[in-house]
A and B are shown apart, each in its own frame.
Chain A
Amino acid sequence: MSVAQTVHAAAVSDHPDRELHLYKEMLKIRETELQLARAYRDGHVMGACHTYVGQEAVAVGVCAHLQVEDAVFSTHRGHGHALAKGVAATEVAAELFGRATGCSGGRGGSMHLFSPEVGMMGTTGIVGPNILQAVGAGYAFQLNGEDRVAVAFFGDGAVNNGAFHEGLNLASIWDLPVVFVCENNLYATEVPFAYAAGNPEVAMRAEGYGCPGRAVDGNNVMEVDTVAEEAVARARRGDGPTLLECKTYRTRAHAEGMPEVGYRTQEEVDSWRARDPIALLRSHLVGTGRVAADEISAWEDKARTEALAAIEFAKASPWPDPRTVFDFVDSSDSAEAARRS
């Protein structure tokens, strides 16, 4: 077993309602991020802002199988994971604007989105640690006898980091309820994965740890949905972790303000834009007559309106009070305690 294989999605008609839900979720992420990118350009969003544009099918296809209590541990490119896990777009936008109403109260920004109330256990500015933290959440769920699953999302860049090796091995030897989701978008910043990896097939690495590995078209949300369903079910049954490799592409720059091409060709970017996950599902839905084109347009308008409202919410929100800067350094929750150190 454990041989990497490409799984083809079950016939989409098996899940009629799910498709519409997935479509709307992807739209929400896309529209929110396009507004965030604009806000970055206008100087409202500071620091580094890595968009998820082009990869939405992965977060959406996986999170569709998660309950609120399930835990997601994400990366520097985490807006999509947060939104798919149920963090409100208003809270994500406000966090990137550095406002008190943000999901991390303005302490974190784009790379530190926390909303444990909905199982969003953080995005991270360091490549790798979230893989281990998902393993640990899986350990806690198993220890405490809870029916919960942990998911780590990470890029191809993280696969060459020791955290990947240590995390997959630990999850596998103890059959922990974890799903490892590698979003192989072919580049870590500007470094091709084919250059950085001795074997560029990520899913095959699962064999080295004794757990199943599955490679799918990460731009086909229904394919992601299918393998995620299986992987989450396996974790819930107590049978242990699965490694999913979702082959996808980010169609914007690594981070806003960086070049989109140079390390990659315009033709390559265009070829992936032609396979945009949202457009793919849209043409399927319209082409098969499942949904009328103008109905979809109405959804798009609604998503855009909501994204704009999130931006307005962020803009109108207060800045964090500087007097709170010492709060939460430790569990005593008080500035007094922090100064005492």
Chain B
Amino acid sequence: MSAASQTLTFTEAAREGLAEEMERDASVFVVGEGIGERGGNFNTTLGLFDRFGPSRIRDTPITERGFVGMCTGAAMAGARPVVDFMFLDFILDAFGELVNQVAKIQYMSSGRLRMPMVLRGCIGVGGSAATHHSGNYYPFFLHQPGFKVVVPSTPRDAKGLLKTAIRSDDPVLFLEHKLLLATRGEVPSEPYLEPLGRARVRRTGRHATVVAVGVMTPKALAAADSLAGSGHDIEVIDLVSIAPLDTATILESVAKTGRLLIADEDYQPCGVGAEISARVCTDGFDLLDAPVARLNGAYVPIPYSPSLEQAVVPSQDAVVQALRDLLAE
């Protein structure tokens, strides 16, 4: 089998996926601020305005609640909107529309109305973006039934998951960590899709499992490499899907390693790690040789100054240390 591939950045790969889906289905359209001729603050739509025109690459006023509510109605009426928030922080202005409408309309209509909507935006701490441009927010959408949430960490997943998200009849949050946007990686040249709802085992190991969310994946892989020198064999799972959680893949890994660390830049209380930990304790208590460990960003609003910003995110060294502590349990 030929495995023709190309090297793309995360952003290029996602954009290619978006363009392919827009080519394939004329009911797909994108709304957002500065996504028209400008091509998006994060180049999410660069060049697409010329190809698809203003009704499908739709520059909006600064009206987050308005365009989310509008896209809700558009999805109910047969279109497939992609909402590009630029920074995901702006989604909060539309939270009522999302939780009370987007998440509930399929259920309330007994499935006679579908909600094919993609909600994409940049998340995460980095570049002194400061507190209104650095949030992660994904646990909110795991808590509420009705959403799917993916946080890809590779260009290949970015493209394949965005394509699947656009084809999905459910609302899907597609979240892009700012520090991953320039990541380069192999992307198949042939058309492909990646499945929603699945975690990926990025590195196999026997002594401990790290479940990493998004930007923590490269840090966890590097930490695992550095621990390999001292004889520790670490398995790294890239969570990819926040909702639904792929509990099966995690339990399978824990069955092998007996030790679990969840590494997530987002806050700890009621976070993704809390939910994973609860599930593993319920369904895999006997598999554990040590208490489940969590490594998270500091529980503070995200500060601006680089010295402060560095202090709130879990570093690669912190992952190494957390793993050493876990292995010593």
Spell out A's residues near B (CB within 8 Å): 71, 73, 104-105, 107-108, 112, 114, 116-117, 121-122, 124-126, 129, 131-144, 146, 148, 150, 162-163, 165-167, 169-170, 173, 327-331, 333, 338, 340-341
User: Which 5 pairs across A and B sit closest by C-beta, in order of nearness?
Assistant: A132-B69, A136-B73, A166-B66, A133-B73, A331-B169
Closest-by-CB residue of A relative to B31 is: A139
In the complex the two chains form, is A330's CB within 8 Å of B77's CB? no
List of B residues within 8 angstroms of A173 by Cβ: 61
**Residue of B63, B72, B76 most packed against chain A (CB within 10 A):** B76
Q: Does B185 contact A (CB under 8 A)?
A: no
Counting CB contacts under 8 A, is B245 at the interface?
Answer: yes
Query: Whole-angstrom distance between the alpha carbons of A138 and B72 in the complex?
Result: 11
- In the complex, how many angstroms separate the beta carbon of A192 from the nearest chain B beta carbon? 25
Can you give 8 contacting A-B residue pairs, CB < 8 Å? A108-B108, A114-B110, A116-B113, A136-B76, A139-B74, A143-B56, A327-B110, A341-B243
Q: How far, in angstroms, from A331 to B29 measured CA to CA in the complex?
A: 20
Quick check: which of B12-20, B99-107, B210-218, B287-295 contacts chain A, the rest being far away?
Answer: B99-107
A167 to B73, CA, bound (A): 11
Q: Are the CB atoms of B100 and A126 closer together than 8 Å?
A: yes
Is there an interface contact between B110 and A107, defined as CB atoms closer than 8 Å? yes
Whether A132 and B73, one on each chain, are in contact in the complex, defined by CB atoms closer than 8 angstroms, is yes
Instruction: Given A136-B72, A140-B77, A331-B111, decide whether A162 and B61 contact each other with a Cβ distance below 8 A.
Output: no
Query: How near does chain B come to A231, taking the closest CB pair, in angstroms?
Result: 18
Residue of A nearest to B29 (CB): A143
A135-B244 in contact given A129-B101, A170-B61 (Cβ < 8 Å) = no
Please tell me if the beta carbons of B74 and A137 are within 8 angstroms of each other in the complex.
Answer: yes
B133 at the interface (CB under 8 A from A): no
Kindly provide the distance from the CB of B279 to the nearest chain A CB, expressed in whole angstroms.
11
Q: Is the CB of B72 within 8 A of A340?
A: no
Q: Are A139 and B73 in contact (CB under 8 A)?
A: yes
Q: Which residues of B contact A140 (CB under 8 A)?
A: 27, 73-75, 77-79
Q: Which of A136, A139, A141, A144 has the most CB of B within 10 A?
A: A136
Q: From known contacts A114-B109, A132-B97, A341-B145, infer whether A167 and B69 are also in contact, taking CB-CB under 8 Å.
A: yes
Q: Let me know if B109 and A139 touch, CB within 8 A.
A: no
Given A132-B66, A134-B73, residue A114 in contact with residue B112 (CB < 8 A): yes
Tell me the nearest residue of chain B to A173, going by C-beta.
B61
The distance from the CB of A305 to the nearest CB of chain B, in whole angstroms, is: 29
The CA-CA distance from A134 to B69 in the complex, in Å, is 9
- How many A-B contacts are there with CB distance less than 8 Å? 162
Q: Smallest Cβ distance from B303 to chain A, in angstroms? A: 30
Q: By the criterion CB–CB under 8 Å, are B66 and A167 in contact?
A: yes
**Distance between Cα atoms of A173 and B31 in the complex (Å):** 14
Q: Beyond the given A114-B112, A340-B244, A341-B244, please list 13 additional residue pairs across the A-B interface where CB-CB is below 8 A.
A: A116-B113, A117-B112, A129-B72, A138-B73, A140-B77, A143-B79, A144-B79, A163-B65, A166-B65, A170-B66, A328-B109, A330-B148, A341-B245
Do B66 and A133 touch across chains, with their CB atoms under 8 A apart?
Answer: no
Q: Which residues of B contact A133 (CB under 8 A)?
A: 69-70, 72-73, 76, 101
Q: Which of A104, A143, A338 contacts B109 (CB 8 A)?
A: A104
Interface residues on B, range: 35 or more
Q: Which of A124, A146, A169, A333 contacts B61 (CB 8 A)?
A: A169
Which B-chain residue is minimally distant from A320 (CB atoms)? B110
- Chain A residues with Cβ under 8 A from B29's Cβ? 143
A170 touching B145 in the complex, CB below 8 Å, given contacts A132-B97, A328-B110, A328-B111? no
Within 8 A of A (CB), among B190-226: 197
Residue of A nearest to B169 (CB): A331
Closest chain A CB from B278 CB (angstroms): 14
Given A129-B69, A139-B73, are A144 and B101 also a contact pair (CB < 8 Å)?
Answer: no
- For B70, the chain A residues whose CB sits under 8 A away are 132-133, 135-136, 139, 167, 170
Q: Which of B109, B243, B244 has the most CB of A within 10 A?
A: B109
Interface centre among A107, A112, A133, A150 (most CB of B within 10 A): A133
Instruction: Judge whether B78 and A144 touch: CB under 8 Å.
Output: yes
Contact present for B106 and A330 (CB under 8 Å): yes
Which residues of chain B from 48 to 77 have any CB-CB distance to chain A below 8 Å in the complex?
55-56, 60-61, 63, 65-77
A338 contacts B145, CB within 8 Å?
A: yes
Q: Does B76 lie within 8 Å of A139, measured CB to CB? A: no
The complex places the Cα of A142 from the Cα of B54 at a distance, in Å, of: 12
Instruction: Name B142's closest neighbour in chain A (CB-CB).
Output: A341
CA distance A51 to B306 in the complex (A): 58
Q: Which of chain B's residues have a CB closer than 8 A to the CB of A108?
A: 108
The CA of A114 and the CA of B75, in the complex, are separated in Å by: 15
Does B160 have its Cβ within 8 Å of any Cβ on chain A?
Answer: no
The CA of A169 and the CA of B70, in the complex, are separated in Å by 11
- B168 is an interface residue with CB less than 8 A from chain A: yes
Question: Does B96 reach chain A (CB closer than 8 Å)?
Answer: yes
Within 8 Å CB of A169, what residues of B? Answer: 61, 63, 66
Q: Is residue B155 within 8 Å, beta carbon to beta carbon, of the partner chain?
A: no
Residues on A with beta carbons closer than 8 Å to the beta carbon of B109: 104, 114, 116, 122, 328
B66 partner, pick from A126, A141, A163, beta carbons under 8 A: A163
CB distance from B224 to the nearest CB of A (A): 29
Most A CB contacts (10 A, CB to CB) among B26, B74, B169 go to B74
Interface centre among A116, A134, A143 (most CB of B within 10 A): A143
